[in-house]
Amino acid sequence: MEQSSTSTPLTGAVQGLASELASALRSGGRFRLAAGIPDVHGAEANAGLALAAVRVVGADAVLPSVLRRAPAEADDLALFGRAVHIYPPAADASPVSVWSHWAMKQTLRRLDAPSGGGSDRAAEAGPEAEPQVAWLADVPWQVLTHQLALLAPLAVPEADCAVADVARDRPVDVARGFVRAVRRRDWLQAAGAGRWLVLLDGVPATLGLGAGLEFVAHMGGDDPRVALQVEAARHLQAGARP
Amino acid sequence: MPSTDFLTVELTEIPDVEEALNPTEVVGFYRDTRECAALALQSGAGNLLLSPPTPRPKKG
């Protein structure tokens, strides 16, 4: 499947952020989230768009720090926290949106902890109960893979949440979904599913996950969102070494 | 006005955040033969789930 061709300012901002993140992961270079964000006092619309993009990219917006287990800069965390604060899930938000927001808060809390806490960021991102996961537990494997791919930012080495538990319980279903996504040319879903599979035990060896991920990168890597997921998967495969 | 108030105003005018977070699965189409071949080559031994099924003997 070709990725959606619908282009909006938000889509462009998300692609731009994903591109910078993928590049940083690929090169091992430094990534500064705040560096690409306009001065909030000088370019309000652009700043708003950039924050929306951070919310859409979710916890992956600080993925280099997470994977390298490196502290994030204070202004990066402030920006990340601002996106968390400004975009709480609405009352009728999808479970994916709720979990994405929860993951951002958990990530913020984890990254903010080494700084000694005490900031408003840490306060607003304190521990909180996980959202419910019943919506995901018994869905068909096709739906499971679609939802997990949307929640790929939860697939990190320290993943310890109910969504990750569901994924761990159904490695063969996720593998099947990965294959389906590739066959449908849904490179973004395939990359997200592949990222989960890297973390799962019990994935059939016959899947050829490594070759499959390379194929996804080859076919879909022009989309920065796909490239970001593939780079994340590669880091996870390598043990997230810096 | 607090320095960040404008952000709330601005962001309510970006309506597609929720949609971007939870897009529906788009109808897809299946790979063509050349892509199958490329993937089979990448898989090396050919024991990939993406490989075409093993031909079965014809009846009769």
- 8 A C-beta contact, residue A133 and residue A166: yes
A233 within 8 A of A25, measured Cβ to Cβ: no
> Mean pLDDT, to the nearest integer, of B33-46?
56
The per-residue pLDDT of chain A, averaged, comes to: 88
- Which sequence spans correspond to the domains of chain A? 9-237
Residues of A in contact with B53 (CB under 8 A): none
pLDDT higher than threshold 80 for residue A115: no
A212 touches chain B (CB under 8 A): yes
Worst-scoring range by mean pLDDT, A8-22, A23-37, A73-87? A23-37
User: Mean pLDDT, to the nearest integer, of B24-46?
Assistant: 61
User: What is the predicted pLDDT for the residue at A159?
Assistant: 75
- Position A136 scores a pLDDT of 95
- In angstroms, the separation between the Cα of residue A184 and the nearest Cα of chain B is 5
Using only C-alpha atoms, what is the Rg of chain B?
25
Closest CA to A5 of A222, A203, A201: A222
ipTM of this complex: 0.82
- The string of pLDDT tens digits covering residues A57-66 is 999 999 999 9
Q: List the single residue in B30, B42, B43 with the smallest CB-CB distance to A184.
A: B30
Q: Is A149 on the interface with B (CB under 8 A)?
A: no
What pLDDT shows up at residue A139? Answer: 96
Residues with Cβ within 8 Å of A146's Cβ and at least 6 positions away in sequence, in order, are A177, A189, B25
User: Contact B14/A90, CB-based, under 8 Å?
Assistant: no
Asked if A59 and A66 touch (Cβ cutoff 8 Å), the reply is yes
Question: Residue A242 has what pLDDT?
Answer: 35
Q: How far apart are CA A216 and CA A226, in angstroms?
A: 8
Average pLDDT over residues B41-46: 52
The backbone region for A82, taken as left when phi is positive above 0, alpha when psi lies in -120 to 50, beta otherwise, is alpha
